[in-house]
Amino acid sequence: MEQTNLSKNSLGEFLESFASRRDYYIKNYRKFLDEPFLKEYFKKKELLRKNYLEQWDKSFNIFKTTNPKNYYYERLHSDLIKTLLDPATPDISDKNRGYLKILIDLLADKKDTIERYYFPNEYEIKAEEHADAGERGRIDIFIHDNTHAIIIENKSNNAPDTGNQLAKYYKHVVKNLQLDVFAIIYLPLDPLKKHPSVFADEYKEYEKDILNKTVVLPVVSADGKGDLVHGFLSKCLRHAVTKGNILAAIYINQMIKLFKFLGGNNMASGIDKELLKELFNTQESRSMARDIADVYNNRHMLITSIFFDSFCKELLKRKFETFKDATVYGVKVAEDIYAAFFCDMHYYDQFSIGFFSDKDIPEEKREVLKGILNEAEFSNHLYEDKNFYKDWVLKIIKLMDRGENPIGETIEYYTKMLLEKHAALFQKAAKLLKEQGE
């Protein structure tokens, strides 16, 4: 007898301790989620999601219709920019050099050592121009007339720098082609990336000129100013609209979405790395982050379980009877037949609605009940029939949107839908079964 009391006391102490530890952890998780660095992270990610990533994910883009890897390729990005700036491009080019002027003004605004040279005569633009200055290479985008040139080094796919890259291009254009390079554009995906500034001895004579003429033009920047998307392409889009060139406007709009997606993904990666350093700063924060990740990864099962906790209480309030160890909740619609919900957390992916009996349901009645479940007004939120139970006629309920909306909204929507809309299903079954009996 004493041992039994001791067991009871031990159980009571365990439950009390468990409740205390549960409250402690919940309190600390809430405190953890209110940490300033997390709030700042969520704020930045939401901004990126709305302004950069969702515009790509939720809208049409011609670049998504090709090989999914293509839109990451640096050569594609160079070709897109070249096509816009090239006066020889049919239909979308601006013969008055409007797009090129926007680019040059942006460079001069960013760096006062850049000459505002607008190529008053005929000019040419090439992609992958061969350069030979002791070392071979290719200039990603090369714009020039008979006297002046712009070099664009495209790093929009986060490609690494190679030794003396800018210097050998500059030397090739100045020495071999005898052109005045008045601007070098360094186009990185990472807005924090710096252009190369140290060169081998053979290029030292060009070092000062290169540094004075090089402008870093990131794909997107944190402040959304002075970058490829906002400082150049967005202005080109307004220019195309003003000129009434709808085809050019569509083309530029698609470019903007692509580069926003690439730049937004890169910035998101940078923010994620900073967050990870914070999360792994202490053993406690690392443990909490892991626990929260586990909860999120199990959200489908947990949200269903939370829904069951709320929904089953509502069923009991409405005088539903329970069967099979409280996994089935039903109301009688005919002799020996109940309209019922199957709510068993061991089979949370088979949350079902239908009709249950404590004995086999006759075939003629099964057909009537199947017909009701198959009616469109009742079956919109249901899967196919589960026919392997002779004492059940049922369909699985789809608890959609598990984790995208606040959980309270999910519970409220499905509770209302199932208890109000499907009450009509129960009433119809009772009426038809009664008529069949008569």
Residue 181 is assigned to a structural domain of this protein? yes
If pLDDT is split at 50, 70 and 90, which confidence band does 403 have?
low
Q: Please give the average per-residue pLDDT across 233-245, as a whole number.
A: 96
Position with higher pLDDT, 224 vs 41: 224
Same-domain check for residues 96 and 235: yes
Residue 161 is assigned to a structural domain of this protein? yes
Same-domain check for residues 348 and 399: yes
Range of the domain at 256: 62-262
pLDDT single digits (tens) 319-356: 888 887 788 888 888 888 888 888 887 776 678 888 88
Same-domain check for residues 91 and 240: yes
If pLDDT is split at 50, 70 and 90, which confidence band does 8 have?
low
Q: Give pLDDT, residue 284.
A: 83
pLDDT single digits (tens) 418-429: 887 777 888 888
Question: CA nearest 329: which of 317, 312, 345?
Answer: 312
Same-domain check for residues 10 and 107: no
Ramachandran region, residue 247 (left: φ > 0; alpha: ψ -120 to 50; beta: rest): alpha
Q: Please give the average per-residue pLDDT across 206-210, as a whole number.
A: 92
Q: Give pLDDT, residue 145.
A: 94
Q: pLDDT over 70 for what percent of the chain?
A: 86
Position with higher pLDDT, 25 vs 299: 299
Same-domain check for residues 177 and 322: no
For β-strands 180-188 and 148-155, DSSP reports them as parallel
Q: Give pLDDT, residue 208.
A: 92
Residue 42 is assigned to a structural domain of this protein? no
Q: Please give the average per-residue pLDDT across 207-215, as a whole number.
A: 93
Q: How many CB atoms lie within 10 A of CB 13?
A: 10
Residue 89 is assigned to a structural domain of this protein? yes
Residue 72 is assigned to a structural domain of this protein? yes
Same-domain check for residues 255 and 305: no
Position with higher pLDDT, 156 vs 142: 142
Number of H helices, E strands in the chain: 15, 11
Burial 102-119 (b: 16+ CB within 10 A, else e): bbbbbbbebeeebeebeb
- Give CA–CA dist 374/128, Å, rounded: 62
Mention every residue, 6+ apart, whose C-beta is less than 8 A from residue 419.
314, 315, 318
Taking the alpha carbons of 218, 222, 224, 226 in that order, is the dihedral positive or negative? negative
Beta bridge partners of 154: 187
Same-domain check for residues 108 and 5: no
pLDDT single digits (tens) 32-77: 777 787 778 777 878 777 777 777 777 787 877 765 556 667 788 9
Residue 55 is assigned to a structural domain of this protein? no
If pLDDT is split at 50, 70 and 90, which confidence band does 2 have?
very low
Same-domain check for residues 375 and 235: no
Same-domain check for residues 133 and 240: yes
- Give CA–CA dist 241/238, Å, rounded: 5
pTM of the model: 0.61
Same-domain check for residues 218 and 94: yes
With a cut of 90, say whether residue 124 has pLDDT above it.
yes
Q: Please give the average per-residue pLDDT across 18-41, as a whole number.
A: 69
| Strands (E) located in 250-347 | 321-323, 328-334, 337-342
Structural domain total, the chain: 3
With a cut of 50, say whether residue 137 has pLDDT above it.
yes
Q: Give pLDDT, residue 1.
A: 40
Position with higher pLDDT, 44 vs 25: 44
Residue 48 is assigned to a structural domain of this protein? no
pLDDT single digits (tens) 88-116: 899 999 888 999 999 999 999 999 999 99
Residue 335 is assigned to a structural domain of this protein? yes
Same-domain check for residues 184 and 304: no
Q: Please give the average per-residue pLDDT across 4-9, as a whole number.
A: 54
With a cut of 70, say whether residue 187 has pLDDT above it.
yes
Same-domain check for residues 25 and 71: no
Q: How many CA atoms lie within 13 A of 51 on its CB side?
A: 17
Q: How many CB atoms lie within 10 A of CB 38?
A: 16
pLDDT single digits (tens) 155-184: 988 888 888 889 999 999 999 999 999 999
**Alpha-carbon distances, residue 352 vs 91, 176, 344 (angstroms):** 58, 77, 9
Position with higher pLDDT, 424 vs 229: 229
- Residue carrying the six token digits 């699985």: 396
